[in-house]
Structure 1
């Protein structure tokens, strides 16, 4: 293992051997030498009058598609470049998905879904036969070579993706059958291809380039607070909130934001209407939160509605249509929704929808006093397979226009993207959920944990990551709660409690209080085993140890100087050590240690 410890995935290449010139650089050279090809809506190659113009500035590529012919043409996609038989089928890689819940790892010949969902399977986003479609960013680790980073640095109009097989990678942009008029051009999304021994430097360069196209929506620090969903679900009552609010005020006042989750509204889409929850007066609950010195936060799914909602019944013209002109039922083209389904989709290209979204969030911000919005089901705002009000708009543009209307209404409130199209959300949210929903099971602790750690590099670079709630109550064994708490601490992102805190033990309450406020910095792990990580917290260095396996395991950490080691949660000294510190963790266990 190299001595350097890079942020998260940065050291993966190092774990696979000594770097040398070779496959990564050869891949980039081959990519630059390959030809760009445009495909028509029917899948055939576009005529020679349609030209793919690529301009490489170092390893950053600007792409234009120009129609030099005399008639218009509809284009399905553009293959910017294709490289085959350069990287071995056994090459390890990590790739992002279009939807927040989708990630892929493994090798080119044996890709593995990181969590529970895939873009093609769960969300029914089409992909070509013989290839896996991944999106936004691919990181490849050829053996005995430098890391290779392929990524899109903008997401203004088109979806950037990659078609991957055991021996070939195609760099592709989806043009959604857009019509290109004679003499006109499409400016596609910018693309970067970089290689290097230091993955952290690659990510810095990549994130810096993204910032030029999508300046980060700034918020000073990652929020901390409490969420009603994982203890009360959609049946949450006003008394549930008041009981926890009183407990937090007396025992954990650092939890600033009190978030009311799904369940307060009568129907999906009727966000300003009065439902049965909270005695029919959600505004009073929000006012009580504010009156007690905390920040009111609320869940909203701005782009969806159900068939019983007033929005659906009174404004069918606001909705994305199917090919017959009727409101598109989301289950016809993608996942239909998780409650009150199937959902229908508000069309962000429609000016009336934009005005509606601005009004909803303006009322909630100005009259209801909400200062934090959890925006859920945002993926549906970029739904594929529908017909938009603006026929010239892509699904990325529809989503971004809708989000611009949300931002206008929300003002200075914090915006968290959840179940969102990941790259189209760049520059539009302050925070980004980085994993599936948490559940009090080891399987979810493990899977969501890996999802979060693969994305921890984004925290503080693109937005504040939300690793979902810290849950510390229930009947799971102590070691698994220790693992869960240590892993969330390692992400450095947002910290919301998901427990009914009136039932938390004193020991777990202490752990919760020590987890907040978040460090704002992701721990640097030695490799993607994600077992040993370090993060600087003020003057102290913290060591995070995670045992993913069922059996006990010893960990030995090198110390640069004589060090006293403390258990971070309890503050107890574990002794003074010179040279190395060794500890054995039981299976499914985690520790956070302070090194002084």
Structure 2
């Protein structure tokens, strides 16, 4: 019914312009034309604005503009997944005051087929999906760009489909997106160690050497050894070493390579603090405010989590593109870095600024900057996007952080866990998801660690340890070894309750079963044929079973069961 309403609706173009929509099966391609003799400023293009006709209680899921947020809940009572919503934390305006997702939206009305609405490209404009209990408004943010007399814009392609199989709908969406944004591939799925969750910004060269030695002796399959935020003297000066680090970053990276590991480095390429050498010497490279001065990010949104407010490099400026390409070429060719954890990427697509190229959108600014980074980093590197704009990053990164930062608590294990599983459909289809680090040291009870490990295993994504490896117990080391190598296969769930997920692996099937509550629950797995079952973590032999197998789960726990 909803799809028929969309196709039957009337197009309304901005004043003076003509909007043509053409449906080709499930795809809609739209063109905006200026037939007048005057240039016209276009704040947005509304493709559809209809009464959706669905119950307000209809469950939904939508992507956000940036990775630290998603939408869930229902049409009448949407909820934020993640702590940093677009509208509140980043202050991105929402059309007509409607709650807004970006890129895609799914709806699961009771007794009807699921509906998936999505934009299959994000070359120039970001697609917005806005809604309330009665209304659905689909638009493109055209950022007040000017359409010249006789000019036309080919707008981003739109897809509307329905069906009973959640995963099949995602398959159709991701295959359609791949035609416009081919996936950057990298095999195998990256694994490694990250310094942030044990040492934070106070990391020293000794911390890295100690963990490097441990990994070389005990777990050489942790391929990448990553120095995170803290080595640099200022945000923006990525080729300099801060005094607190205690030694030369280049020397440490060289030692990592000499031990047979791949050197990895945290870089926030689009930002700089005011005290940095980059900002002092090249303030003209940054996105401007309405007066022509560099725009401090706290003027229109979040100013940055440390050493703010940050200023944002303008990816439309050819000098910035040359800078980014040269920076990453140096880091790759001269410093030997083959894994780049790019953070604060959102600021490369910040709203409300003025660019060197007056005709370029913030999406184009970000994509041009990222293309320069890819040229510099070379074909032997892996690019991980963190705190990045999701749809604008399509085709530009090998890995995508899929949740907020993890910490050692049940609250974090569950909150980041849901964020990761909501995005599980992206893993292997767009990029490798990065569910953030596995943490196996701390004071949590065993059941919570098992829950956390099972959830990260179920994502099938990248796997990096975030512990001081020298403090890892033999029991925790045994658990970490069982998680390697990363499978690349995300568990498939019937719905967004995320209780029973099936992983079809080579020669075996595994089920990840979760109890998110404090009270005991029972979950049942269905067996297509008789199979021998084993508990992966405990190695307990569960015997032969046929038809189904029911598992009793205490509160705050999970099981990983294998069938052969």
- Bin of the TM-score, shorter chain as denominator length: over 0.9
**Residue 218 of structure 2 is aligned to residue 251 of structure 1:** yes
Shift of 1:72: 0.6
Give 1:405's aligned residue.
Answer: 372
Shift of 1:529: 1.2
Give 2:437's aligned residue.
Answer: 469
Give 1:35's aligned residue.
Answer: 10
Secondary structure of the 1:525 match is coil
| Counterpart selection for 1:283 from 250, 259, 265 | 250
**Residue 20 of structure 2 is aligned to residue 53 of structure 1:** yes
**Residue 301 of structure 2 is aligned to residue 350 of structure 1:** no
Give 2:410's aligned residue.
Answer: 442
Please tell me whether the aligned partners of residues 114 and 166 of structure 2 are also in contact (alpha carbons under 8 angstroms).
yes
Tell me, in whole angstroms, the C-alpha distance in 2 between the residues paired with 1:303 and 1:409. Answer: 15
Please tell me whether the aligned partners of residues 205 and 247 of structure 2 are also in contact (alpha carbons under 8 angstroms).
no
Shift of 1:562: 3.1
Shift of 1:551: 1.3
**Structure 1 stretch displaced more, 81-90 or 95-104:** 81-90
| Counterpart selection for 1:494 from 459, 462, 465 | 462
Tell me, in whole angstroms, the C-alpha distance in 2 between the residues paired with 1:130 and 1:226. Answer: 43
**Residue 342 of structure 2 is aligned to residue 381 of structure 1:** no
**Structure 1 stretch displaced more, 216-225 or 491-500:** 216-225
Q: What whole-Å deviation, never above 9, does each CA across 1:46-101 have from its counterpart, x for those lacking one? A: 32x30111111111011111000111110100110122041111111100000111
Q: How does 1:578-589 map to 2 (within 5 A)?
A: 578-589=546-557
Tell me, in whole angstroms, the C-alpha distance in 1 between the residues paired with 2:3 and 2:193. Answer: 46
Give 1:567's aligned residue.
Answer: 535
Tell me, in whole angstroms, the C-alpha distance in 2 between the residues paired with 1:161 and 1:562. Answer: 47
Q: How does 1:27-176 map to 2 (within 5 A)?
A: 27-38=2-13, 46-47=14-15, 49-176=16-143
Structure 1 residues 129, 65: closer, same or farther in 2, change over 3 A? Answer: closer
Q: What whole-Å deviation, never above 9, does each CA across 1:420-450 have from its counterpart, x for those lacking one? A: 0100000000011111110111111111111
Q: How does 1:305-344 map to 2 (within 5 A)?
A: 305-344=272-311
Q: What whole-Å deviation, never above 9, does each CA across 1:473-531 have from its counterpart, x for those lacking one? A: 00111111110100110010000000001111111111111111111011112321111
Secondary structure of the 1:37 match is coil
**Structure 1 stretch displaced more, 324-333 or 518-527:** 518-527
Shift of 1:201: 2.0
Tell me, in whole angstroms, the C-alpha distance in 2 between the residues paired with 1:354 and 1:182. Answer: 31
Q: What whole-Å deviation, never above 9, does each CA across 1:365-400 have from its counterpart, x for those lacking one? A: 000000100000000000000010111100000000
Q: What whole-Å deviation, never above 9, does each CA across 1:194-226 have from its counterpart, x for those lacking one? A: 111222222111111101100111112210000
Tell me, in whole angstroms, the C-alpha distance in 2 between the residues paired with 1:215 and 1:561. Answer: 38
User: Structure 1: any 5+ residue segments left out of the alignment?
Assistant: 1-25, 39-45
**Residue 197 of structure 2 is aligned to residue 197 of structure 1:** no
Q: How does 1:423-438 map to 2 (within 5 A)?
A: 423-438=391-406
Tell me, in whole angstroms, the C-alpha distance in 2 between the residues paired with 1:130 and 1:346. Answer: 30
Please tell me whether the aligned partners of residues 27 and 83 of structure 1 are also in contact (alpha carbons under 8 angstroms).
no
Tell me, in whole angstroms, the C-alpha distance in 1 between the residues paired with 2:527 and 2:358. Answer: 62
Shift of 1:129: 4.2
Secondary structure of the 1:210 match is helix
Give 1:422's aligned residue.
Answer: 390
**Structure 1 stretch displaced more, 203-212 or 222-231:** 203-212
Secondary structure of the 1:175 match is strand
Instruction: Give me the CA root mean square deviation.
Output: 1.1
- How many aligned residue pairs are there? 563
Tell me, in whole angstroms, the C-alpha distance in 2 between the residues paired with 1:556 and 1:141. Answer: 23
Task: Report which structure shows greater RCO (CA 8 Å, sep ≥6).
Answer: 1
Tell me, in whole angstroms, the C-alpha distance in 1 between the residues paired with 2:529 and 2:185. Answer: 38
Please tell me whether the aligned partners of residues 551 and 586 of structure 1 are also in contact (alpha carbons under 8 angstroms).
yes
Shift of 1:588: 0.8
Shift of 1:569: 2.3
Shift of 1:559: 2.8
Please tell me whether the aligned partners of residues 349 and 365 of structure 2 are also in contact (alpha carbons under 8 angstroms).
yes
Give 2:183's aligned residue.
Answer: 216
Tell me, in whole angstroms, the C-alpha distance in 1 between the residues paired with 2:95 and 2:124. Answer: 21
Shift of 1:143: 1.2
Tell me, in whole angstroms, the C-alpha distance in 1 between the residues paired with 2:450 and 2:554. Answer: 11
**Structure 1 stretch displaced more, 557-566 or 237-246:** 557-566
Secondary structure of the 2:95 match is coil
Instruction: Give the 4+ runs in structure 1 shifted more than 4 A.
Output: none
Tell me, in whole angstroms, the C-alpha distance in 2 between the residues paired with 1:164 and 1:112. Answer: 13
**Residue 512 of structure 2 is aligned to residue 524 of structure 1:** no
* TM score, norm. by length of structure 2: 0.98
Give 1:242's aligned residue.
Answer: 209
Shift of 1:35: 2.4
Shift of 1:117: 1.8
Shift of 1:229: 0.2
| Counterpart selection for 2:363 from 396, 402, 405 | 396
Please tell me whether the aligned partners of residues 36 and 78 of structure 1 are also in contact (alpha carbons under 8 angstroms).
no
Q: How does 1:3-18 map to 2 (within 5 A)?
A: none
Tell me, in whole angstroms, the C-alpha distance in 1 between the residues paired with 2:52 and 2:7. Answer: 15
Please tell me whether the aligned partners of residues 531 and 547 of structure 1 are also in contact (alpha carbons under 8 angstroms).
yes
